[in-house]
Structures are given as C-alpha cells and as structure tokens.
Structure 1
Amino acid sequence: MSWSEAQYEECLHGERRRYAWTMQHHGGLTPSDAWAAALDWYPYEPSDTPHRGLVFHDEAWHWAMLAIHGDRYPVERPELVEPPAEYLALD
C-alpha cells in the first residue's frame, strides 16, 4: 500500500488508540499501561521500512484479544470475535 506520511500517522494513531482502549477495558490495564502497550505493539516505522504498516492488516481489536486471551480466543470466547459498539464508536 502506498500512502502519505500523514495517512500513515493517522492510521497509526487510530490503531494505537483502539488497542489501548481494548487493553484498558478488556485487559484490565491502567490507561498509562494500556497506552504503553499500544506504543510497544504499534511502533513508528520509518517510511523506508519494508512492509511498513503490515500490522494494520488486522484490527487493533484482534491483536489486543490475542494478547489478552491467546490465539484460541475465537474458539474459546466466540463472543469476542467482533468488537463491541463502544470500540467501533472510537472511529
């Protein structure tokens, strides 16, 4: 995908915000710990990084659920496969 720096940064900020929200509301992290987790999961990648933004191929919800519940969450917690309305309202 080819995008401008502004588009990349906007996407990065949005994914970080949604990941942090999920880690706070579903993972029990404090707001500061949730934001730190988001920064760790979504580091800034320079524009010349191969496959820059590849992590965006799945929603922050999915990555957070994996971190919280493990890779079997879709089977063991099917109610968590789709994000709730509160998450979707973050957009």
Structure 2
Amino acid sequence: MRRYGGLAQVEAESSALRRYPYEQSDEPYRGLILHDEAWHWAMLRIHGEGYPQEHPELVEPPAEYRELD
C-alpha cells in the first residue's frame, strides 16, 4: 500500500490490518479465512472497486510481491 498507493508506513499498516487481519504463521488453516489474498484487498483500498478495469496490470501481484511470501 505504500508503494502502489503512496500511503505512509503507519497508515498503510493500520489500513492493511483493518482490511485483512494478520494471521500468525503457525495459525492452523492460515490463509483460508478469506478467499481473496491481501494484494486484492490492498488494490481495492487504493484504487476502488473498478481497479481491475482501470488498472488491469494490477489484477495479479508482481513477482516481487510473490517473492515476499
């Protein structure tokens, strides 16, 4: 959210936690709570509901994002 949305670190972190709650790495079934991944929720927050049409290049996360996992 900082890179693609221009948000300050504190704002990006608080917004991300409100939209996509953090799950500890040892949490059973981590990642199955929400169907959509954090990237999708971040793009919705930054660009709104129409981001897939207005920014089709952002529908899939870049390789750099995938490497963070």
TM-score, shorter chain, exceeding 0.5: yes
TM-score class normalised by the smaller sequence? 0.7 to 0.9
Counterpart among 33, 36, 57 of residue 79 in structure 1: 57
1:64 counterpart letter in structure 2: A
How many corresponding residue pairs?
60
Q: TM-score, normalised by structure 1?
A: 0.58
Larger relative contact order (CA 8 Å, sep ≥ 6): 1
User: Structure 1 runs of 4+ off > 3 angstroms?
Assistant: none
Give the unaligned 5+ runs of structure 1.
1-22, 45-52
More helix by share: 1
Q: TM-score, normalised by structure 2?
A: 0.74
Larger Rg: 1
Counterpart among 27, 39, 43 of residue 5 in structure 2: 27
